[in-house]
Chain A
Amino acid sequence: MNAPSITTSSARSPAVPTRFDLAAALKDSAKSALIAFGLSIPIVAYRTDQSGADLFLNPRWDMVAIFCAIVFGLRLAQHAFMASRAAREAVPSPTQATELVHAEPSAFQKASRFGIPFFLGVALAFPILIYLIQGGLNESRYWVDLGILILTYVMLGWGLNIVVGLAGLLDLGYVAFYAVGAYSYALLSTTFGLSFWICLPLAGILAAFWGIVLGFPVLRLRGDYLAIVTLAFGEIIRLVLINWVDLTNGGAGISSIPRATFFGIPFTAGEGGFADTFGLEFNGMHRMIFLYYLILALALLTNFVTMRLRKLPVGRAWEALREDEIACRSLGINTTNTKLTAFAIGAMFGGFAGSFFAVRQGFISPESFNFLESAIILAIVVMGGMGSQIGVAIAAIVLVGGPEVLRNLTFLQAVFGSGFDPNEYRLLLFGAGMVAMMVWRPRGLISERQPSVILKERKAISGSLVKEGHG
């Protein structure tokens, strides 16, 4: 704030504590935990068990500790939440201001400046971190597998984000392109013996072609009507895959799809394999880690292309199309081409993800491409905040990783009894989460749209012009 000519004359409210006072919050949380401790002594700490005619007191101090920890954590979270809200209210929001606004980066931009490198670093180092934590390649298999799954959905989310988030075309049949990509790779590699690296672009091109095929009939549709047609398109592709047995082997699916190779070197135990070539001891996890980095690279490619396109006329035209189609046309934008490119490029990334899916699984069947998949991908995009890349990534981690975390919450069995399976409550929690989102963040986790052009100081407001034009 070093532009004195643009003084926001209204005095800032001075007394608002914008800094989060950690010590006080910890103290208060500890107090709450202490109260919880006192309360739980008569209620939780002892259980009476009957054995014959005698009553036994069964101490349950571990439960008390869990309760106190929960209370402590919740209280601390509440403090943090209140403090951040107070800080937010103290600073006028740039999106609401009718007073002058500085061309300074918003809080979101500041956060993302550190957040994005952090996320990227964690993603890049993930297999190594897991290896160190779990203490071995084989032990980390589950986590790397989960990482691959999450990244697949991140990529699908980013791909669909082009269609839904940027161009504003509600697509409920995105899984169709995922299926086209997967079957393209499966069929091309099993029939013609083409390698993954040749099939990957082909799968993308085929999916983009089907994107255009879908695009043509729905050019005139918007909103609900478009959603219904795309939903039908997704189902048609699935039904064709089931019923065209000659080509796709029907519901039985295609098995023994060739595995990915390390640029020609197979991940096999014998001579000439990956481990042999690089002088390592053979381990099946090499392939998994390679797949992890492959999908990470594909996802980052999707992100990179999207970010670049947003700055180009075509990307801006997508966003303008989402905002107002009529205005778009009267500004000379060919909305037909704009929509078709959005469908095609979105579908292309779906196709890439599909062929990755096929090479990872080694087996595909129409079962994998049902409507629920489309719904999850769309939920990722909507929850993340339409058009926000980082929001989509966070939503994918929450929606795909969340159920896996539930599976591991075995300590809850100590609370609710041994028959309790937290995984059974997955959909309940999913629904509750959705409702909570609708109430608190109806426009998604990160609803703030980042401008594609951030003006430098050179173009910032010149104070001498401010007085003119006031009406």
Chain B
Amino acid sequence: MSTAGAQTHRQPGASPAAGRQPLLSVRGVKTYYGNIIALKGVDMDVHEGEIVTLIGANGAGKSTLMMTIFGNPRAREGTITYAGRDITKMPTHEIAQLSIAQSPEGRRIFPRMTVYENLQMGASINGFAHFDQDLERVCTLFPRLKERLQQRGGTLSGGEQQMLAIARALMSRPKLLLLDEPSLGLAPLIVKQIFTIIKELNEQDGMTVFLVEQNAYHALKLAHRGYVMVTGNITMSGTGKELLEDPQVRAAYLEGGHH
């Protein structure tokens, strides 16, 4: 956890790594469910040290893009490159071994296993190289988990499960963290906590974060850059600040919500 690029020169709205070779780049990706097209040729970049958010309505294809990056389902056309490697056709578990970690939609923790065992599962990719250190780290980030290490995952509350899903993803010391709707179904206070932690991870550890969110206000406020997705297409992109002030985005995703 030492890529300290972001913490020195982070200004709101300015991407810290613009212009360099992107860490993750998605080019012309089309994904189908059977015959139904879900992504209609998506282009997107995530640079090292950035928080990039993808916002959009239900069914726009946000989660599909996230899962496509992880190879499940595979992109039928287009390419996905991570750190200069083509990962379009790689199986999911091999992608996970390239220090990309994901906290999938709906948390997907292991309900009958204890919190500790869940975290162990997250660390199994790098062979438990720094398990104790990493455990300490996530317990500092999420003190609630530390209290509940011996409890079964399924007995946690929704917010705690979300924390566990993120913590589990962090156990592999990822360079790129993919988060799918971490705020889903959580109380506003917990959402705030989780977003603070994401910011902390980015600023202190220089972790690159790709965040799929419906909670557009919070996500755009947090992110360096954002993309807006509508029915399988990226329709808009810009810095978080630009998008927040954009009248169209405001009308579609922010009005009537948080201010």
- Name A's B-contacting residues (CB within 8 A): 94-98, 100-101, 103, 313, 316-317, 319-320, 322-324, 326-335, 449, 451-455, 459-462, 465-466, 468-471
Contact = CB atoms under 8 A, between A and B. Distances in A.
Contact of A329 (B96, B122, B142, B147): B96
Range of interface residues on B (Cβ < 8 Å): 35 or more
Nearest to A459: B149
Please report whether the interface of chain A is mostly helix, strand, loop or mixed according to DSSP: loop
A319 B143 contact: no
Contacts of A451: 113-114, 116-117, 150
Contacts of A317: 121, 124
Interface in B157-204: 157, 159, 168, 172, 187, 189-190, 193
B235 interface: no
Contact of B72 (A95, A329, A332): A329
26 contacts: A97-B155, A98-B157, A100-B147, A101-B150, A319-B112, A322-B112, A323-B110, A324-B108, A327-B104, A327-B108, A329-B93, A330-B104, A331-B122, A331-B168, A331-B172, A332-B125, A333-B121, A451-B117, A453-B114, A459-B149, A460-B150, A461-B146, A461-B149, A468-B143, A469-B142, A470-B144
Contact of A471 (B101, B116, B120, B189): B189
Nearest to B127: A313
B92 interface: yes
B247 interface: no
Given A95-B155, A98-B155, A316-B124, A462 B108 contact: no
B227 to A, nearest CB: 22
Given A319-B117, A330-B108, A471-B190, 8 more contacts: A101-B148, A319-B110, A319-B112, A327-B109, A331-B122, A334-B91, A449-B152, A465-B139
A316 B122 CA distance: 11
Interface in B85-135: 91-94, 96-97, 101-102, 104, 108-114, 116-117, 120-122, 124-125
A332 B144 contact: no
B151 interface: yes
Contacts of A96: 155
A466 B122 contact: no
Candidate in B72, B110, B190 with the most chain A CB atoms within 10 angstroms: B110
Contacts of B149: 103, 455, 459, 461
A390 to B, nearest CB: 17
Contact of B113 (A319, A329, A460): A319
Contacts of B70: 330
Given A323-B112, A324-B108, A333 B124 contact: yes
A469 B157 contact: no
A216 B111 CA distance: 28
A103 B152 CA distance: 12
A332 B97 contact: yes
A470 B187 CA distance: 12
A333 B93 contact: yes
B113 A326 contact: no
A469 B124 contact: no
Candidate in B96, B142, B150, B172 with the most chain A CB atoms within 10 angstroms: B150
Nearest to A447: B112
B110 A455 contact: no
Candidate in A319, A335, A451, A470 with the most chain B CB atoms within 10 angstroms: A451
A330 B177 CA distance: 12
Q: Which 5 A-B pairs have the closest CB atoms?
A: A332-B96, A323-B110, A332-B125, A327-B108, A471-B190
Nearest to B171: A331
B23 to A, nearest CB: 18
A313 B110 CA distance: 15
A57 B101 CA distance: 85
Nearest to B147: A461
Given A97-B155, A98-B155, A453-B120, A462 B111 contact: no
Nearest to A338: B93
A330 B111 contact: no
B93 A332 contact: yes
B189 A332 contact: no
A427 to B, nearest CB: 33
B93 A335 contact: yes
Given A103-B150, A331-B121, A471-B187, A326 B93 contact: no
B171 to A, nearest CB: 9
